[in-house]
């Protein structure tokens, strides 16, 4: 279980990350880590472990999207007049009114994570089948999914750090 520690992913070890990462992103990443730890403990239900790990990837994607939105709104409100920020928020609200695939949104907010989005999007039908109990997920498949989510999380943390560092530099 030590592979799932926050320090290993630099989520609590780095003081810069603690101060710059949006709270909502940090909470989503924490929830993803907790879910991965739970999936790791599910040695008797590979379908559930696979599905849980995949859902953790969705939380990681949400953390990136949340950071992008938070950084974007912060930059808009500090760089332009309140009227422009309000118009931007209204546009964002209109875009949110239609449900969209998390992987499509991830690519829109962070194109550098496209390969991850493609990978997890391709595995979504298997996750749905695993949740329905109709998939035949092996232990190896569940472990591989957990490992890939950890790798995705490390890349996502790097992206979020770069987003927030850029936002701080522009604001300063």
Taking only the tens place, the pLDDT of each residue in 36-95 is 999 999 989 999 999 999 999 999 999 999 999 887 654 444 344 344 444 554 555 555
The rounded distance, in Å, linking the Cα atoms of 128 and 119 is 15
Coil, helix or strand at residue 35 = helix
- 105 occurs within a structural domain: yes
**How many domains does the structure of the chain reveal?**
1
Query: What single string gives the DSSP state of each residue in 105-134?
Result: HHHHH-GGGHHHHHHHHHHHHHHHHHHHT-
Per the domain annotation, does 6 fall within a domain? no
Cα-trace Rg, the chain? 17
What mean pLDDT is predicted for residues 148-170? 84
5 part of a folded domain: no
Residue 117 is assigned to a structural domain of this protein: yes
Q: Global pTM?
A: 0.76
Print the domain residue range for 125: 22-171
Residue 91 lies in a domain: yes
Model pLDDT, residue 20: 72
**DSSP state letters, 136-159:** ---HHHHHHHHHHHHHHHHHHHHH
Pair 64, 25: CB distance under 8 Å: yes
pLDDT at position 38: 95
Asked whether residue 4 is assigned to any structural domain, the reply reads: no
- 36 lies in a domain? yes
Q: Of the candidates 27, 55, 26, which has an alpha carbon nearest to the alpha carbon of residue 39?
A: 55
């Amino acid at each position: 279980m030590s592979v799932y520690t926050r320090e290993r992913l630099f989520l609590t070890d780095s003081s810069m990350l603690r101060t710059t990462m949006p709270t909502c992103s940090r909470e989503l990443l924490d929830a993803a880590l907790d879910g991965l730890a739970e999936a790791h403990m599910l040695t008797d239900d590979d379908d559930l472990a696979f599905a849980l790990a995949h859902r953790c990837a969705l939380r990681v994607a949400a953390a990136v999207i949340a950071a992008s939105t938070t950084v974007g709104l912060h930059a808009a409100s500090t760089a332009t007049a309140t009227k422009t920020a309000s118009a931007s928020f209204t546009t964002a609200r209109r875009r949110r009114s239609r449900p969209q695939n998390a992987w499509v949104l991830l690519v829109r907010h962070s194109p550098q994570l496209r390969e991850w989005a493609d990978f997890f999007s391709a595995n979504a039908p298997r996750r749905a089948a695993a949740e329905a109990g109709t998939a035949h997920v092996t232990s190896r498949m569940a472990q591989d999914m957990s490992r890939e989510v950890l790798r995705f999380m490390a890349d996502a943390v790097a992206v979020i750090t770069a987003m927030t560092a850029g936002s701080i530099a522009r604001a300063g």
